[in-house]
Structure 1
Amino acid sequence: MPLSVHVLALSVFALGTSEFMLAGLLPPVAADLGVTIPQAGLLISAFAIGMVVGAPLLAVATLRLPRRATLVALIAVFGLGQVAGALAPTYAALFASRVVSALACAGFWAVGAAVAVATVPPTSRARALAVMIGGLSVANVLGVPAGAFLGEGLGWRAAFWAVGAASAVALVGIVTLVPAIPRPRERPRLAGELRVYRERGLWAAVGTIVLSAAGMLCAFGYLSPLLTEVAGLDAGRVPAVLALFGAGAVLGTALGGRFADAHPFRVLLTGLTADTAVLVAFAAFGRYAAAAVPLTFLLGVACFSTAPALNARMFEVAAAAPTLAGATTTAAFNLGNTAGPWLGGAVIDAGFGYGATAWAGAVLTACAVGLAAASRRPRRRTPPRPPAGTGGTAVNPVCSEV
């Protein structure tokens, strides 16, 4: 695996820490800024909204720009957004800083995924994307619990300062270790890349990503109060439990990346089914600390085992438009990340309690299983005719998964 892919994973560590660390900081953020916990949860949605909007816009805007220079600019803007968040005096200012950071993060994911795919052969795409996504998994192991630990001891703003510092380290790594990507012989044309949106398989892949991400964030977005208010854990133990989720995410990403190139649908359906089962178990037994802790680990395994297959599938159905494929994947994941916390907040505000967010998430992931299964229909390609007069034998029909 090229060194540049590991550098991208290091950058994703900073991006992922910022995106998900608020799951462990909602109570202190809400108390400091004078808002409710569901309102604080919308800061997760604010980041996701910026990702949804920013991914396609920045992919189009940077389509013909040098890849490395684009990555440098985006990680720099992201780091400045973390500084702005640390200094935010009001909820509105913090909300705005999250959106700006998310725009830069979205562009980085789209361009970074295209760079990772471009540096490896097609048979290793899922592995390369798994390494890159591994940065997000490590963020859940180290970054998110560290953010919760800093928030508990030094205040939630210290977590933003720490992510800003990590962004600076990532910037140095990109400048020094990511090589310049040669420009294609033919300049990319937006009209040509947009044709991929005519493919039904692409929209099925998008829907599956949205539903799976929304199901996970519906519950995970409120994991901190769920552990303390429902399972009865002490707040000081939340960072350790979040680290367990991250450890499960690392294991799930490794397993998914190991098998997704050879068995994409098997990995996808197995992971989504396991995700649904874990969420149902969380809803049924999450009030017991002895069950909630191991289920948090299993939730990380199940959720992240599908990520390499979901990403690789998108690059397969949109192979003619790799930049927009990365942007579409990013937008789809974060459309789910937007809807998940919003739905979880709505469930809480309706009086069903924190535990009901797991039931809602399970419904969404079950729908993702159904959509993924329905999209697995073979498409037969017409075999080429042998040249006239040669007496050759036609090639057997090839059956490909849509």
Structure 2
Amino acid sequence: MPPALIALAVATFAIGTSEFVIMGLLPDLSIDLGVSIPAAGLLVSAYALTVTFGGPVVTLFAGRLERKRALLWLIGIFITGNILCAIAPNYTLLMIARIVTALSHASFFGIGVVVAADLVPYEKRSSAIALMFSGLTLANVGGVPLGTMLGHEMGWRSTFWALLPIAILATALLVIFVKPKPQDKPSTSMLREFVVLGRPQVLLTLGMSATISIALFSVLTYIAPLLESTAGMTTAEISAVLLLFGAGNLTGVLLGGKLADRNQMAAILGVFGVLLALYLALTVTSFWAWTASVTFFLLGAATFAPGPALQTRVLDYAKDAPNVSATLIHSAFNLGNAAGAWVGGIALTAGATYAQLPWIGVAFGALALALAFYAKKLGQRSAAAS
């Protein structure tokens, strides 16, 4: 493994932990800052929306820098944001601090993907991207649970302070191991970067990314009441299921990278088919603790497995604007996260039971598979025409 990939993985671990750990700290935040839990929950929404809409804009400016320098500026913004979170005296300033932190998120991931893909031979790009994002999956497995535990024991601010040495380590590793390349030239045209949004294959890839996120978060957002009402699981048992889900993330992203290196489109179609089958299975398996646990482990793997293929696919179809196109993937994922929670909430408000939520996953899983088949067909037509 190139040492630069380790540097990128450490950075994604820190960023991923910072993004998700706040969900487990909401009760502590609400008490300390004197706001309701729904108001505290807006910190999560604001972060996701900033990643979705602010990321591409930040990347347009960061893309004018040499990529190593851009990564260092972005990790600097992340460090500044976390310091502001740790010292924020009230809710308003904490909200501003979370928005500052989120500005670095999608841009770092997007530019990092381009750097990771450039570190290895062309046919190994997906595996390199998967190794970079192993840091994000490890954040779900270890960083978030440990950060939440630390916040409960020593106060929520301690969690953000604890992230600083990890981010500083990532910065040092980036300085040492990421080497600028002669062809790593700054982007000169902002308009050219956004032209990629008019390309059907880029839009289809973004659509697939958002759709699988909607499918997941329509269910995962409500996993606690879902498993309580169907399988009668306790809080401790649900925590164990979430840990299994995180372990599945790591397994899936590494396996997905290898599959994508062999055949990108076949990997996407195959994994989307598995996802659809798993959401169908969950409509039944959620009623028993052990079958629900196995299904969520497999869902964790299958949801993260197509990530490397989707990343390399968007790079293939937007070679002249790699920074923004790679960033847009993360914007699409975060938009799907927010939309999935909203769709699930709408269904529950309309009278659906928690046990029926997996059917939303089925619907959006089928849509993702349809988009993938259409993208394949469109690619075949383009190849035949040329």
| Distance (whole Å) between structure 2 residues aligned to residue 42 and residue 359 of structure 1 | 27
CA distance in 2, matches of 1:18, 1:206: 24
Q: Once the 2 structures are TM-superposed, how far is the Cα of residue 102 of structure 1 from its aligned partner?
A: 1.1
| Conserved 8 A contact 2:285-2:295 | no
- The match for 1:122 is 122
Change (3 A) 1:217 1:80: farther
TM-score by length of 2: 0.87
**Relative to structure 1, is the Cα distance of residues 222 and 159 closer, same or farther in structure 2, using a 3 angstrom cutoff?**
farther
Q: Determine the C-alpha separation between the residues in 1 that align with 2:310 and 2:385.
A: 17
CA distance in 2, matches of 1:102, 1:294: 33
2: CA distance between counterparts of 1:162 and 1:229? 36
Structure 1 residues 294, 5: closer, same or farther in 2, change over 3 A? same
What secondary structure is seen at the aligned counterpart in 2 of 1:377?
Answer: helix
Q: CA deviation at 1:372?
A: 1.2
- In terms of fraction of residues, the more helix-rich structure is 2
Aligned match of 1:324? 324
- Residue number in structure 2 paired with 1:362: 362
8 Å CA contact retained: 2:63, 2:186: no
- Shifted more, 246-255 versus 209-218: the winner is 209-218
Conserved 8 A contact 2:24-2:148: yes
Gaps spanning 5+ residues in structure 2: where? none
What is the CA deviation profile of residues 260-306 of structure 1, one whole-angstrom value per residue up to 9, with x for unaligned ones?
Answer: 02211221122222223323433444343333322221111110111
The answer as to whether partners of 1:378 and 1:399 remain within 8 angstroms in 2 is: no
Partners of 1:305 and 1:174 in 2: how far apart?
A: 26
- Amino acid aligned to 1:77: I
Q: Name the CA shift for 1:374/1:72 in 2 (closer, same or farther; >3 Å).
A: same
**Partner in structure 1 of residue 265 of structure 2:** 265
For residue 193 of structure 1, report the CA deviation from its aligned partner. 3.3
Question: How far apart in 2 are the matches of 1:88 and 1:227?
Answer: 36
1:35 aligns with 2:36: yes
- CA–CA separation in structure 1 for the residues paired with 2:88 and 2:77: 16
Tell me the residue number matched to 2:207: 207
- The change in CA–CA distance for 1:158 and 1:347 in structure 2 (over 3 A counts) is farther
Instruction: Give the corresponding residue for 2:45.
Output: 45
Indicate conservation of the 8 Å contact 2:75/2:167, yes or no.
Answer: yes
Q: Cα deviation per residue 1:172-217 (whole Å; 9 max; x = unaligned)?
A: 2222222234354686433333333332111111111111122222
Aligned length: 385
Q: What is the letter of the counterpart of residue 252 of structure 1?
A: G
In the superposition, the TM-score normalised over structure 1's length comes to 0.84
Partner residue, 2:133? 133
Q: CA RMSD in A?
A: 3.0
Contact 2:63-2:70 within 8 A present in 1 as well: no
Aligned partner of 1:65 in structure 2 is: 65
Q: 1:74 to 1:187 in 2, by over 3 A?
A: closer
Query: Could you say what secondary structure the match of 2:36 adopts?
Result: coil
Q: Deviations over 1:330-372 (max 9, x none)?
A: 2222221221223334344555455454333332222111111
> Do 1:130 and 1:254's aligned partners in 2 also have CA atoms closer than 8 Å?
yes
Q: Distance in 2 between matches of 1:77 and 1:131?
A: 23
- Runs of 5+ unmatched residues, structure 1: 383-397
Residues 70-126 of structure 1 deviation map (CA, whole Å, 9 limit, x = unaligned): 212211221232233344455544443322211111221122112112223322221
State the partner residue of 2:194: 194
Structure 1 residue 171: Cα displacement: 1.8
